[in-house]
Amino acid sequence: AALLAAALVGCIGDETPGAAAVVERAPPSAGCLDDDAAFVHRALLRVQGRAPRGVAETRLLAGYVAQLDAAGLDGRRLLAEGLTDDPRYLLRWSTILEELLQIPRAGPRALPICHGRRHPAGDGDALAAFIRDHDPTADFGAPWGIGDLAESSLRLDDLSPLLRALLLTRVAGPINGNNVSPEELERARRQNFGRSFEATYLGRRVECLACHNGEGSVTDHPDPALDRAWPHPAPLERAVFGDPRGRDEPSLFAAFRYAGFGEGPLAPWGAEGCGGVHVGRGGDLLEEPAYLAGPLPAGATALDVEARLRDGLEQLRDGGPLTDEVPDPAAALATLTALNLVDGAWAALSGARLTLAHGLPRNQAQRDTLLDLTDAFVAGGLSPRALVVELVVHPALNQGTPDSCGPLAGDERAPLPALFDPYAPERDPATPGNGLGDALHPRGGFALLDRLALALEWPTVKRHPAPFQWEDEALMRGLGVRLSETEPGHRGGDWSTLLLWESRVAAGRDPGFAGRYLPDGTDDAAPGRDFIDRLIARGRESPDARFGDLAVAVKDRLLCAPDSDAEEQALVAALVGIDWTTPIAAVPDDALEEALRALVGALAASPEFLLAGLAPPRQLTTPPIVAPGDEVAALCARRMPTLVAVIPGSPTFTCDDDGVTLAWPAGA
């Protein structure tokens, strides 16, 4: 403790700062916004984890956006909101939440029943509402696990139940050790639980706070152009730790004890397979005083932390974002949690956080963006939907290529601030901000696997290996899926990862994943009959169809890029051994299928498929043959009921081969 105190004083002094002022935020730069077709492409991937089913869907939804804009509404925002009413949104964002909250999928701390087993409780919002409204001693009355609660919280549109429950279910998976005393093992467990809490909730590391906190940093500078620390305006660390420079770990982690708390008779809210806890405060092996967002009672446990977090989350839900100089400690705890969650959600879509490893943004644009997004999340009632919509429509995540902008003037031509790579301006002073290239990044493991499975109409991969392990654990590990604390995952694009991916998808065949099957409402889709099977059957109905017609349809489905030139057509022919103009009537079924699946493998290993952040260029052609259900009118009939439901004024819609026509009642 003495060493820590010395470090604290040496780093940023011992003075007590004055009241923090409410900061002025700069409006986000629009930069060079891409067109509606590009927005549609990105929005579907970001909200539902899938690309459009081809240019037909891209143009359909771009037309929807354009008509809303013409009516004086925000078409992009309404489209993003409407896309959240879909089971693929639940799968996509429950997966992101589990990764952000570091739920283990393998190793000694994984809980197969609690984390991996699905129950009917996840099919509605009643589970999340029950946990929101009750303390942990109440019993929901039906089996449920964390996966169910993640989806139920998304359905309720309130993440507080998931955040509270995870505090208690983590205790069921303590680390173990040999040849150590009970006291040493207990101390190690507290540190393990406490550091996990820092990473997943606080977004702060106590060892970093000595030199980097919201009231002072060694990278502070009076000149804003040289300032490299841009924290939240309120002194959050002071409220949570009692001192902005942190607190000794024994007291900070004391409430995360296992001795006398774990392996108890109470299953919080009746969870299945998530362990049990003791309600009392006895059995504290170390008897260390506990402090987190204020002093905690003697013998405090994670139940006390959960109660404090619940109080803070309710304050945020009722009162909105914090701007006070001296926040309530519980509200400050909840604010740090919200900031960290929002920061992780931004990284899930952009590839990089808005903060550095110590938890603070490096420039004003990063700070302002983080505050704006967190305000939307909190103002919506801790709403994941509100957060997702704000992320999807954010100008920085919808930039066009320089040649698509045309002759713009003023701020429209100004470069984006350094949101993605804050070090770029210092490496190249001639480039003061970031560009579209800085936003390109490899897709995460689940995002990549889901994009492929949803495009080809395969079952998705399981989110957890239980009960019979993953079908291909080497693939999951190689693609950077987070497995445990010791295998935290990555977004790798190295040579070995690319070779592994290519070897698994080169045949273009269903790998036999045992996750959820999410068909798109087409009558002839079924497990074991995928997109290629259905496309070939449709092609056989056209006596004049040529191989190139089906190849274009495959490109359209995987990349939304049916345009092709003679050079590309020659390359495809060389790859698959069938000339572009060959009538498919002259090609046997097995040879035709083999050729199209080989093309799938090549396209799925292309940068256009593997990288996130770049939409395809504007397409000039339309595939002459599409799979059943991919016609414009059919897509319109499936998409518009949920998309029109979010539009003010209760418009009606009409679908035809040209797209959708929206009409508002007279006087609306």
Q: Into how many domains does the chain fold? A: 3
Q: pLDDT, tens digit, for every residue of 576-603?
A: 999 999 999 999 999 999 999 999 999 9
Q: Are residues 145 and 242 in the same domain?
A: no
Boundary of a domain, candidates 170, 189, 222: 170
Q: Are residues 204 and 318 in the same domain?
A: yes
pLDDT at res. 411:
45
Contacts of 136 (CB under 8 A, 6+ apart): 168, 266, 268, 269, 277, 303, 306
Domain membership of residue 520 (yes or no) is no
Q: Are residues 102 and 242 in the same domain?
A: no
**Alpha-carbon distances, residue 416 vs 316, 372, 390, 395 (angstroms):** 31, 17, 18, 9
pLDDT at res. 528:
85
3-class secondary-structure state, position 272: coil
Q: Are residues 178 and 324 in the same domain?
A: yes
Is the C-alpha dihedral spanning 315, 318, 321, 323 positive or negative? negative
Does 5 score more than 50 pLDDT? no
- The stretch 3-23 carries a mean pLDDT of 40
Q: How confident is the model at residue 28 (pLDDT cuts 50, 70, 90)?
A: low
pLDDT at res. 497:
87
pLDDT at res. 170:
86
Is the C-alpha dihedral spanning 224, 228, 232, 234 positive or negative? negative
23-37, 239-253, 406-420, range with the lowest pLDDT: 406-420
Does 257 score more than 60 pLDDT? yes
Which residue from 273, 258, 108 is spatially nearest to 186, judged by alpha carbons? 258
Q: Are residues 165 and 231 in the same domain?
A: no
Residue 203 buriedness (CB in 10 A; 0-12 / 13-18 / 19+): buried
pLDDT at res. 35:
94
Instruction: Residue 326: give the domain boundaries.
Output: 2-15+174-331
The DSSP 8-state label assigned to residue 646 in this structure reads: T
Boundary of a domain, candidates 290, 314, 331: 331
Q: pLDDT, tens digit, for every residue of 56-72?
A: 999 999 999 999 999 99
pLDDT at res. 15:
41
Domain membership of residue 638 (yes or no) is no
Domain membership of residue 148 (yes or no) is yes
- The helix (run of H) or strand (run of E) holding residue 266 is strand 262-266
Q: Are residues 149 and 276 in the same domain?
A: no
Given 3-state DSSP classes, what are the helix, strand and coil percentages for the chain, each rounded to the nearest 5? 50, 5, 45
Boundary of a domain, candidates 596, 612, 628: 612
Q: Are residues 289 and 319 in the same domain?
A: yes
Q: Are residues 179 and 304 in the same domain?
A: yes
Q: Are residues 209 and 157 in the same domain?
A: no
Give the DSSP letter string of 124-152: SSHHHHHHHHS-TTS--SS---HHHHHHH
- The stretch 362-374 carries a mean pLDDT of 96
Q: pLDDT, tens digit, for every residue of 109-162?
A: 889 899 988 999 999 999 999 999 999 999 999 999 999 999 999 999 999 999
**Alpha-carbon distances, residue 272 vs 114, 115, 144, 392 (angstroms):** 6, 10, 6, 35
Domain membership of residue 492 (yes or no) is no
Can you give the C-alpha Rg of the chain in angstroms? 26
Q: Please give the structure tokens belonging to residue 32.
A: 């060079």
Q: Please give the structure tokens belonging to residue 22.
A: 């409410």
Q: Are residues 190 and 287 in the same domain?
A: yes
- The stretch 375-395 carries a mean pLDDT of 97
Quote the mean pLDDT of the chain.
91
Q: pLDDT, tens digit, for every residue of 507-566?
A: 999 988 989 999 888 777 788 899 999 999 999 999 999 999 999 999 999 999 999 999
Residue 206 buriedness (CB in 10 A; 0-12 / 13-18 / 19+): buried
Cα-Cα end-to-end distance for the chain: 67
Q: Are residues 95 and 163 in the same domain?
A: yes
Q: Are residues 126 and 99 in the same domain?
A: yes
